Amino acid sequence: MLFPDYRPRRLRQSKAFRRMVRETELSVNDLILPLFAVEGKDVKNPISSMPGHFQLSVDHIVQTAEEAHGLGIPAVILFGIPSDKDSLATQAYKKDGIVQKTISAIKERIPDLAVITDVCLCGYTDHGHCGIVNGQIIDNDATLDLLAKIAVSHAKAGADMVAPSDMMDGRVAEIRDGLDENNFSHIPIMAYSAKYCSAYYGPFRQAAESAPQFGDRRTYQMDPANAVEAIREATLDIEEGADIIMVKPALSYLDIIYRLREETDLPIAAYNVSGEFSMIKAAEQLGWMDGTAVMLETLTSIKRAGADMILTYFAIDAAKAIG
């Protein structure tokens, strides 16, 4: 049927009709809130490029986690900023490391809130790379054992899920083995499977103090020009035992989310990264766009592309806006 017999506007004429035919519904259930943990007490250092976000000491993180839980957000993901860094990231798997302490504090106060942890070296190494450095080379195989150690230390502290973001080859299998050998076969792995080498991570590196001190991450993170390779990466992670696969960043990579949705029946997470958040906040502060409307449109588009869950610095704002 064609115009004038068929008129698509008929089903857009009222709010009720629009609600009835809406295909995608953003829900608070979809949101995961990233948090940055620092040592100390009563510390709340604003992250200038990410308005409303802070490096928080454990006491404040628990408060923010409580707010998120109260709004119905099911999970947080933790990033640690240790007081000391070294070439081997030893602070990353310490029993009383910053993330380990934060996990137990949150789980003690809010047992129902899922605590996911980012598993990587870059926040803990003095060189800022996601793997062990050998000369100028990032040594893949030497890194795997450490990643498994970090994941196990998080699980011991009470983490509900681990999320490796390093992009070393073979890490999912190594982490799965490590968890299983330590009686954590029930802990799922959310793999940053298609993690691109993106300039959108800029504000995060300021927040996490994790910028590489030499070179860049091109030898391990994916080339933004590649899409088929994302399928290969995700396939490997799934074969190695990933429970959830992630695409990161989200907004410039909606096609990747869509392709992976066609390829796999595993849940897909999308990381609406720091730069994507900062751009919208900046435009809002300049009075150039309606920040809340753009936030909701953006998050809805990520879901429409095929993501089941979204890691986003907008989690609290969005939960409030959805109501």
How far apart CA 310 and CA 323 sit, in angstroms, is: 17
Q: Are 209 and 81 contacting, i.e. CB atoms less than 8 angstroms apart? A: yes
Q: Is 196 in the site for ligand PBG (CB under 6 A)?
A: no
Which residues, 6 or more positions from 297, have their beta carbon under 8 angstroms from its beta carbon? none
Q: Which is nearer to ligand PBG, 1 or 211 (CB)?
A: 211
Question: Which member of 30, 60, 118, 152 binds ligand PBG (CB under 6 A)?
Answer: 118
Count, residues near ligand PBG per rule CB under 6 A: 12
**Which residue of 73, 273, 305, 319 would you call a contact of ligand PBG, by CB under 6 A?**
273
Look at residue 118 and give the partner it binds from Zn ion, ligand PBG, none, a contact being a CB closer than 5 to 8 Å depending on partner kind: ligand PBG
**Which region among 15-23, 120-128, 223-231, 270-278 touches Zn ion (by CB under 5 A)?**
120-128
According to DSSP, residue 201 is labeled: G
CA atoms within 13 A on the CB side of 321: 17
Question: Which parts of the chain are beta strand (E)?
Answer: 31-38, 44-46, 54-56, 75-81, 114-119, 132-134, 137-139, 161-164, 190-195, 244-248, 268-272, 309-312
Structure tokens at 170: 């073979």
Known catalytic membership, residue 156 = no
Please give the residues from 148 up to 177 whose contact with ligand PBG meets the rule CB under 6 A.
Answer: 165-166
Q: Which of 92, 99, 116, 130 binds ligand PBG (CB under 6 A)?
A: 130
By the rule CB under 6 A, 205 interacts with ligand PBG: yes
Binds Zn ion by CB under 5 A, chosen from 68, 78, 103, 122: 122
Residue ranges of alpha helices (H) inside 84-213 are 98-109, 140-157, 171-181, 202-208
Residues that bind ligand PBG (CB under 6 A): 118, 120, 122, 130, 165-166, 201, 204-205, 210, 273-274
